[in-house]
Chain A
Amino acid sequence: MDGSAPAPAALAWPDAIFAELQRWGVRQVAYVPDGGHARLIRAVHAEPTMRAIPLTTEEEGIAVLAGAALGGQRGVLLMQSSGVGNCVNMLSLVKSCGFPFLALVTMRGEWGEFNPWQVPMGSTTEAAFGLMGVGVRRADRAEEVAETVAAAARMVFEGGSAVAVLLGQRLIGAKVF
Protein backbone atom coordinates (compact mmCIF):
# COMPACT_ATOMS: atom_id res chain seq x y z
CA MET A 1 0.00 0.00 0.00
CA ASP A 2 3.04 2.27 0.29
CA GLY A 3 3.73 2.09 -3.43
CA SER A 4 0.56 3.74 -4.68
CA ALA A 5 -0.52 7.29 -3.96
CA PRO A 6 -3.73 7.22 -1.89
CA ALA A 7 -6.28 10.01 -2.15
CA PRO A 8 -5.62 12.87 0.33
CA ALA A 9 -8.72 12.00 2.39
CA ALA A 10 -7.49 8.41 2.78
CA LEU A 11 -4.27 9.79 4.22
CA ALA A 12 -5.96 12.13 6.61
CA TRP A 13 -8.45 10.12 8.67
CA PRO A 14 -6.07 7.59 10.31
CA ASP A 15 -3.89 10.52 11.27
CA ALA A 16 -6.93 12.27 12.72
CA ILE A 17 -7.66 9.20 14.85
CA PHE A 18 -4.05 9.10 16.02
CA ALA A 19 -4.22 12.76 17.03
CA GLU A 20 -7.40 12.11 19.03
CA LEU A 21 -5.84 9.12 20.80
CA GLN A 22 -2.89 11.30 21.75
CA ARG A 23 -5.13 14.13 22.88
CA TRP A 24 -7.04 11.74 25.15
CA GLY A 25 -3.87 10.33 26.66
CA VAL A 26 -4.38 6.79 25.38
CA ARG A 27 -1.47 4.59 26.47
CA GLN A 28 -2.39 1.04 25.49
CA VAL A 29 -3.42 0.28 21.92
CA ALA A 30 -4.43 -3.37 21.50
CA TYR A 31 -5.10 -4.62 18.01
CA VAL A 32 -5.63 -7.44 15.61
CA PRO A 33 -4.26 -6.15 12.29
CA ASP A 34 -6.58 -4.85 9.62
CA GLY A 35 -5.66 -3.17 6.35
CA GLY A 36 -7.87 -0.22 7.17
CA HIS A 37 -5.97 0.36 10.41
CA ALA A 38 -2.49 -0.26 8.96
CA ARG A 39 -1.47 3.38 8.91
CA LEU A 40 -2.71 4.00 12.44
CA ILE A 41 -1.00 0.84 13.74
CA ARG A 42 2.31 2.01 12.23
CA ALA A 43 1.91 5.39 13.92
CA VAL A 44 1.20 3.76 17.28
CA HIS A 45 4.29 1.55 17.03
CA ALA A 46 6.37 4.64 16.30
CA GLU A 47 4.97 6.61 19.26
CA PRO A 48 7.00 6.15 22.47
CA THR A 49 4.15 7.19 24.81
CA MET A 50 1.91 4.46 23.42
CA ARG A 51 2.18 0.72 23.91
CA ALA A 52 1.19 -1.24 20.79
CA ILE A 53 -0.21 -4.62 21.84
CA PRO A 54 -0.75 -7.11 19.01
CA LEU A 55 -3.32 -9.74 19.98
CA THR A 56 -3.86 -13.28 18.77
CA THR A 57 -7.64 -12.80 18.90
CA GLU A 58 -9.83 -9.76 19.50
CA GLU A 59 -11.37 -10.76 22.85
CA GLU A 60 -7.92 -10.67 24.41
CA GLY A 61 -8.06 -6.91 23.98
CA ILE A 62 -11.16 -6.58 26.16
CA ALA A 63 -9.31 -8.18 29.08
CA VAL A 64 -6.09 -6.23 28.46
CA LEU A 65 -7.93 -2.90 28.44
CA ALA A 66 -9.89 -3.82 31.57
CA GLY A 67 -6.55 -4.46 33.29
CA ALA A 68 -5.24 -1.14 31.99
CA ALA A 69 -8.29 0.69 33.36
CA LEU A 70 -7.93 -1.12 36.68
CA GLY A 71 -4.43 0.35 36.88
CA GLY A 72 -5.48 3.82 35.73
CA GLN A 73 -4.41 3.80 32.08
CA ARG A 74 -6.52 4.55 29.04
CA GLY A 75 -6.63 2.13 26.14
CA VAL A 76 -8.31 1.45 22.82
CA LEU A 77 -9.00 -1.70 20.80
CA LEU A 78 -8.50 -1.67 17.03
CA MET A 79 -10.00 -4.43 14.92
CA GLN A 80 -12.02 -5.22 11.83
CA SER A 81 -15.70 -6.11 11.94
CA SER A 82 -15.05 -9.84 11.56
CA GLY A 83 -13.49 -9.83 15.04
CA VAL A 84 -16.47 -8.38 16.88
CA GLY A 85 -18.24 -11.71 17.31
CA ASN A 86 -15.14 -13.07 19.02
CA CYS A 87 -15.60 -10.46 21.73
CA VAL A 88 -19.14 -11.20 22.86
CA ASN A 89 -18.60 -13.21 26.05
CA MET A 90 -15.48 -11.29 27.10
CA LEU A 91 -17.56 -8.10 27.01
CA SER A 92 -19.31 -9.40 30.12
CA LEU A 93 -16.20 -8.11 31.90
CA VAL A 94 -16.99 -4.58 30.72
CA LYS A 95 -20.69 -4.96 31.52
CA SER A 96 -20.35 -6.64 34.92
CA CYS A 97 -17.68 -4.29 36.24
CA GLY A 98 -18.51 -1.04 34.47
CA PHE A 99 -15.14 -0.74 32.80
CA PRO A 100 -14.71 2.03 30.23
CA PHE A 101 -14.29 0.55 26.75
CA LEU A 102 -13.41 2.11 23.40
CA ALA A 103 -13.15 0.14 20.16
CA LEU A 104 -12.43 1.46 16.66
CA VAL A 105 -13.73 -1.01 14.11
CA THR A 106 -13.00 -0.98 10.40
CA MET A 107 -15.99 -2.35 8.52
CA ARG A 108 -15.91 -5.13 5.97
CA GLY A 109 -18.77 -6.82 4.21
CA GLU A 110 -20.98 -3.78 3.71
CA TRP A 111 -19.83 -1.62 0.75
CA GLY A 112 -18.47 -3.11 -2.45
CA GLU A 113 -17.23 -6.18 -0.59
CA PHE A 114 -15.93 -8.86 -2.94
CA ASN A 115 -15.49 -11.51 -0.21
CA PRO A 116 -18.83 -13.03 0.84
CA TRP A 117 -17.23 -14.51 3.97
CA GLN A 118 -17.02 -10.99 5.40
CA VAL A 119 -20.75 -10.36 5.02
CA PRO A 120 -22.23 -12.45 7.87
CA MET A 121 -20.25 -10.68 10.60
CA GLY A 122 -20.11 -7.31 8.82
CA SER A 123 -23.90 -7.20 8.65
CA THR A 124 -24.28 -8.11 12.35
CA THR A 125 -21.46 -6.05 13.86
CA GLU A 126 -23.71 -3.39 15.35
CA ALA A 127 -26.15 -6.01 16.63
CA ALA A 128 -23.32 -7.98 18.29
CA PHE A 129 -22.16 -4.90 20.17
CA GLY A 130 -25.78 -4.14 21.03
CA LEU A 131 -26.20 -7.60 22.58
CA MET A 132 -23.55 -6.70 25.14
CA GLY A 133 -24.58 -3.11 25.78
CA VAL A 134 -21.79 -1.44 23.83
CA GLY A 135 -22.98 1.79 22.20
CA VAL A 136 -22.23 2.19 18.51
CA ARG A 137 -21.36 5.32 16.51
CA ARG A 138 -20.51 5.42 12.81
CA ALA A 139 -18.30 7.46 10.55
CA ASP A 140 -18.69 7.05 6.80
CA ARG A 141 -16.96 10.20 5.59
CA ALA A 142 -13.37 11.22 6.30
CA GLU A 143 -14.37 14.62 7.65
CA GLU A 144 -16.57 13.11 10.37
CA VAL A 145 -13.97 10.67 11.75
CA ALA A 146 -12.20 12.99 14.18
CA GLU A 147 -15.36 14.36 15.77
CA THR A 148 -16.91 10.90 16.04
CA VAL A 149 -13.83 9.46 17.74
CA ALA A 150 -13.61 12.51 20.01
CA ALA A 151 -17.28 12.21 21.02
CA ALA A 152 -16.84 8.49 21.74
CA ALA A 153 -13.62 9.07 23.68
CA ARG A 154 -15.34 11.63 25.90
CA MET A 155 -18.16 9.22 26.71
CA VAL A 156 -15.66 6.46 27.49
CA PHE A 157 -12.89 8.26 29.33
CA GLU A 158 -14.94 10.89 31.12
CA GLY A 159 -18.24 9.05 31.37
CA GLY A 160 -17.06 5.46 31.82
CA SER A 161 -19.19 4.21 28.91
CA ALA A 162 -18.54 1.39 26.46
CA VAL A 163 -18.54 2.66 22.87
CA ALA A 164 -17.50 1.27 19.50
CA VAL A 165 -16.90 3.52 16.50
CA LEU A 166 -17.58 1.79 13.21
CA LEU A 167 -15.45 3.14 10.38
CA GLY A 168 -17.53 2.44 7.26
CA GLN A 169 -16.15 0.42 4.39
CA ARG A 170 -17.12 3.27 2.12
CA LEU A 171 -14.64 5.43 4.02
CA ILE A 172 -11.87 2.85 3.98
CA GLY A 173 -12.44 1.74 0.42
CA ALA A 174 -13.33 -1.80 -0.60
CA LYS A 175 -10.32 -4.09 -0.74
CA VAL A 176 -9.28 -4.84 -4.31
CA PHE A 177 -7.33 -7.98 -5.26
Chain B
Amino acid sequence: MLDRRDVVARLLKDRDEALVITGLGAATYDVAAAGDDARNFYLWGAMGGAALMGLGLALARPDRPVVVITGDGEQLMGIGAFATIAVQAPANLTIVVLDNGLYGETGGQRSHTSGGTDLAAVARGCGIAAASRVTDQAGVEALAATIAKPTCGLRVVVIAVDPTEAPRVLPSRDGAYVRGRFQAALGLAA
Protein backbone atom coordinates (compact mmCIF):
# COMPACT_ATOMS: atom_id res chain seq x y z
CA MET B 1 0.00 0.00 0.00
CA LEU B 2 1.15 3.55 -0.70
CA ASP B 3 2.82 5.43 2.13
CA ARG B 4 1.35 8.95 2.50
CA ARG B 5 4.69 10.60 3.25
CA ASP B 6 6.30 9.04 0.16
CA VAL B 7 3.32 10.06 -2.00
CA VAL B 8 3.37 13.69 -0.87
CA ALA B 9 7.17 13.96 -1.08
CA ARG B 10 7.06 12.58 -4.63
CA LEU B 11 4.26 14.93 -5.73
CA LEU B 12 6.06 17.98 -4.36
CA LYS B 13 9.55 17.08 -5.54
CA ASP B 14 8.91 18.60 -8.96
CA ARG B 15 6.40 21.23 -7.80
CA ASP B 16 8.24 24.09 -9.51
CA GLU B 17 5.87 27.10 -9.27
CA ALA B 18 3.00 25.20 -7.66
CA LEU B 19 1.04 26.79 -4.81
CA VAL B 20 -0.07 24.31 -2.16
CA ILE B 21 -3.01 24.36 0.29
CA THR B 22 -3.22 21.63 2.92
CA GLY B 23 -6.26 20.27 4.74
CA LEU B 24 -6.08 20.13 8.54
CA GLY B 25 -4.63 17.07 10.19
CA ALA B 26 -2.20 14.62 8.69
CA ALA B 27 -2.14 16.26 5.24
CA THR B 28 -0.70 19.39 6.85
CA TYR B 29 2.01 17.29 8.56
CA ASP B 30 2.76 15.39 5.32
CA VAL B 31 3.36 18.59 3.37
CA ALA B 32 5.48 20.04 6.18
CA ALA B 33 7.50 16.82 6.26
CA ALA B 34 8.23 17.23 2.55
CA GLY B 35 9.87 20.58 3.36
CA ASP B 36 8.53 23.92 4.53
CA ASP B 37 8.00 26.43 1.74
CA ALA B 38 6.60 29.97 1.63
CA ARG B 39 4.24 28.82 -1.12
CA ASN B 40 2.52 26.37 1.26
CA PHE B 41 -0.61 27.42 3.09
CA TYR B 42 -1.29 25.08 6.00
CA LEU B 43 -4.78 24.78 7.43
CA TRP B 44 -5.04 23.85 11.10
CA GLY B 45 -8.82 24.24 11.16
CA ALA B 46 -11.58 25.43 8.80
CA MET B 47 -12.42 21.76 8.22
CA GLY B 48 -14.07 21.31 4.82
CA GLY B 49 -12.49 24.45 3.41
CA ALA B 50 -9.23 23.29 1.82
CA ALA B 51 -10.44 22.54 -1.72
CA LEU B 52 -12.53 25.72 -1.75
CA MET B 53 -9.59 27.82 -0.67
CA GLY B 54 -7.76 26.22 -3.58
CA LEU B 55 -10.61 27.30 -5.86
CA GLY B 56 -10.39 30.96 -4.85
CA LEU B 57 -6.62 30.91 -5.22
CA ALA B 58 -6.71 29.11 -8.58
CA LEU B 59 -9.18 31.68 -9.96
CA ALA B 60 -7.02 34.54 -8.65
CA ARG B 61 -3.79 33.08 -10.08
CA PRO B 62 -4.60 31.25 -13.35
CA ASP B 63 -0.90 31.39 -14.26
CA ARG B 64 0.08 29.14 -11.36
CA PRO B 65 -0.70 25.49 -10.67
CA VAL B 66 -2.64 25.18 -7.40
CA VAL B 67 -2.51 21.87 -5.56
CA VAL B 68 -4.78 21.06 -2.63
CA ILE B 69 -3.62 18.16 -0.47
CA THR B 70 -6.19 16.99 2.04
CA GLY B 71 -7.67 13.97 3.79
CA ASP B 72 -10.83 11.96 3.17
CA GLY B 73 -12.46 13.25 6.36
CA GLU B 74 -11.69 16.86 5.57
CA GLN B 75 -13.08 16.51 2.05
CA LEU B 76 -16.19 14.70 3.28
CA MET B 77 -17.04 17.70 5.48
CA GLY B 78 -16.90 19.95 2.42
CA ILE B 79 -18.32 17.45 -0.05
CA GLY B 80 -20.47 20.10 -1.75
CA ALA B 81 -17.20 21.74 -2.77
CA PHE B 82 -16.98 19.33 -5.68
CA ALA B 83 -20.20 20.79 -7.13
CA THR B 84 -19.08 24.38 -6.52
CA ILE B 85 -15.65 23.75 -8.05
CA ALA B 86 -17.06 21.85 -11.05
CA VAL B 87 -19.06 24.92 -12.09
CA GLN B 88 -15.88 27.06 -12.16
CA ALA B 89 -13.54 24.34 -13.50
CA PRO B 90 -10.23 26.21 -13.23
CA ALA B 91 -7.67 24.43 -15.42
CA ASN B 92 -4.90 25.03 -12.87
CA LEU B 93 -6.50 23.26 -9.90
CA THR B 94 -5.58 19.77 -8.69
CA ILE B 95 -7.26 18.33 -5.60
CA VAL B 96 -5.42 15.41 -4.03
CA VAL B 97 -7.33 13.47 -1.38
CA LEU B 98 -5.18 11.16 0.73
CA ASP B 99 -7.73 8.46 1.50
CA ASN B 100 -6.78 6.31 4.49
CA GLY B 101 -10.41 5.42 5.11
CA LEU B 102 -10.40 6.99 8.53
CA TYR B 103 -10.29 10.09 10.68
CA GLY B 104 -6.66 9.79 11.70
CA GLU B 105 -6.33 12.96 13.73
CA THR B 106 -9.17 12.11 16.08
CA GLY B 107 -8.34 8.52 16.94
CA GLY B 108 -8.67 6.58 13.73
CA GLN B 109 -12.45 6.21 13.51
CA ARG B 110 -13.62 4.68 10.21
CA SER B 111 -14.66 7.37 7.74
CA HIS B 112 -17.45 7.13 5.18
CA THR B 113 -14.95 6.08 2.51
CA SER B 114 -14.58 2.84 4.50
CA GLY B 115 -18.36 2.55 4.48
CA GLY B 116 -19.01 2.79 0.75
CA THR B 117 -18.47 6.43 -0.25
CA ASP B 118 -16.29 6.68 -3.36
CA LEU B 119 -14.99 10.26 -3.39
CA ALA B 120 -13.80 10.08 -7.01
CA ALA B 121 -17.25 8.92 -8.07
CA VAL B 122 -18.81 11.74 -6.03
CA ALA B 123 -16.54 14.25 -7.78
CA ARG B 124 -17.49 12.81 -11.19
CA GLY B 125 -21.15 12.95 -10.23
CA CYS B 126 -20.69 16.62 -9.39
CA GLY B 127 -19.32 17.26 -12.86
CA ILE B 128 -15.57 16.87 -12.47
CA ALA B 129 -14.85 14.44 -15.30
CA ALA B 130 -11.15 14.05 -14.49
CA ALA B 131 -11.64 12.41 -11.11
CA SER B 132 -9.78 9.19 -10.50
CA ARG B 133 -8.60 6.83 -7.79
CA VAL B 134 -4.93 5.98 -7.60
CA THR B 135 -3.78 2.86 -5.79
CA ASP B 136 -0.22 2.32 -7.05
CA GLN B 137 3.08 4.09 -7.63
CA ALA B 138 2.50 4.33 -11.39
CA GLY B 139 -0.52 6.50 -10.71
CA VAL B 140 1.48 8.70 -8.34
CA GLU B 141 4.25 9.08 -10.94
CA ALA B 142 1.73 10.01 -13.65
CA LEU B 143 0.31 12.75 -11.44
CA ALA B 144 3.76 13.97 -10.35
CA ALA B 145 4.77 14.35 -14.00
CA THR B 146 2.10 17.03 -14.57
CA ILE B 147 1.72 18.56 -11.10
CA ALA B 148 3.60 21.73 -12.07
CA LYS B 149 1.55 22.42 -15.22
CA PRO B 150 -1.12 25.09 -14.81
CA THR B 151 -3.05 23.92 -17.88
CA CYS B 152 -3.87 20.29 -17.08
CA GLY B 153 -7.50 20.94 -16.42
CA LEU B 154 -9.41 20.61 -13.17
CA ARG B 155 -8.79 17.23 -11.58
CA VAL B 156 -9.50 15.31 -8.41
CA VAL B 157 -7.14 12.48 -7.55
CA VAL B 158 -8.09 10.26 -4.63
CA ILE B 159 -5.02 8.34 -3.52
CA ALA B 160 -5.52 5.22 -1.40
CA VAL B 161 -2.87 5.35 1.33
CA ASP B 162 -1.78 3.08 4.16
CA PRO B 163 -3.72 3.93 7.34
CA THR B 164 -0.58 3.80 9.48
CA GLU B 165 0.08 7.16 11.16
CA ALA B 166 3.35 8.91 10.43
CA PRO B 167 5.23 10.93 13.06
CA ARG B 168 3.87 14.48 13.32
CA VAL B 169 5.80 17.24 11.63
CA LEU B 170 4.27 20.51 12.74
CA PRO B 171 4.52 23.63 10.58
CA SER B 172 3.69 27.09 11.92
CA ARG B 173 0.24 27.49 13.47
CA ASP B 174 0.42 31.27 13.12
CA GLY B 175 -2.11 31.81 10.35
CA ALA B 176 -1.33 35.49 9.86
CA TYR B 177 2.37 34.70 9.49
CA VAL B 178 1.78 31.89 7.00
CA ARG B 179 -0.60 34.11 5.01
CA GLY B 180 1.82 37.04 4.91
CA ARG B 181 4.70 34.82 3.92
CA PHE B 182 2.68 33.22 1.14
CA GLN B 183 1.52 36.58 -0.22
CA ALA B 184 5.06 37.95 -0.10
CA ALA B 185 6.22 34.92 -2.13
CA LEU B 186 3.66 35.95 -4.75
CA GLY B 187 4.92 39.52 -4.68
CA LEU B 188 1.80 40.82 -2.96
CA ALA B 189 1.66 43.29 -0.09
CA ALA B 190 0.32 41.29 2.85
Which residues does chain B contribute within 8 Å of A28, judged by CB atoms? 56, 59-60
With contacts A59-B49, A60-B78, A99-B179 known, is A54 near B87, CB below 8 A?
yes
B175 to chain A, nearest CB (A): 3
Specify the chain A residue showing the minimal Cβ separation from B21: A67
Q: Which residues 167-183 of B sit at the A interface, judged by CB distance below 8 A?
A: 175-176, 178-179, 182-183
Q: When the two chains form the complex, which single residue of B47, B53, B176, B178 contacts A67, counting CB atoms closer than 8 Å? A: B53
Q: Are the CB atoms of A53 and B60 closer together than 8 Å?
A: no
Q: Are the CB atoms of A89 and B183 closer together than 8 Å?
A: no
Q: Which residues 47-91 of A sit at the B interface, judged by CB distance below 8 A?
A: 51, 53-57, 59-60, 62-73, 75, 89-90
Q: Are the CB atoms of B54 and A93 closer together than 8 Å?
A: no
With contacts A89-B46, A92-B45, A98-B175 known, is A60 near B60, CB below 8 A?
no
User: Is B41 interfacial (CB-CB < 8 Å)?
Assistant: yes
Q: When the two chains form the complex, which single residue of B19, B53, B83 contacts A64, counting CB atoms closer than 8 Å? A: B53
Which residues does chain B contribute within 8 Å of A51, judged by CB atoms? 59, 88
B95 to chain A, nearest CB (A): 12
Chain A contact patch, size range = 20 to 34
Count how many chain B residues have C-beta atoms less than 8 Å from C-beta atoms of the other chain: 36
Q: How many Å lie between the Cα of A89 and that of B49 in the bound state?
A: 10
Which residues does chain A contribute within 8 Å of B52, judged by CB atoms? 60, 63-64, 67
Tally A-B pairs: CB < 8 A.
117
With contacts A56-B80, A60-B80 known, is A67 near B55, CB below 8 A?
yes
Which residues does chain A contribute within 8 Å of B88, judged by CB atoms? 51, 53
Q: How many Å lie between the Cα of A128 and that of B61 in the bound state?
A: 32
Specify the chain B residue showing the minimal Cβ separation from A61: B52
Contact with A along B156-190 (1 / 0, CB 8 A): 00000000000000000001101100110010100
With contacts A53-B88, A93-B46 known, is A67 near B83, CB below 8 A?
no
Q: How many Å lie between the Cα of A63 and that of B41 in the bound state?
A: 12
A84 to chain B, nearest CB (A): 17
With contacts A27-B60, A70-B182, A70-B183 known, is A57 near B55, CB below 8 A?
no
With contacts A67-B54, A68-B59, A72-B60 known, is A89 near B47, CB below 8 A?
yes
Apart from A69-B56, A70-B53, list 6 A-B contacts with CB within 8 A: A28-B56, A51-B88, A55-B80, A64-B52, A64-B55, A93-B43
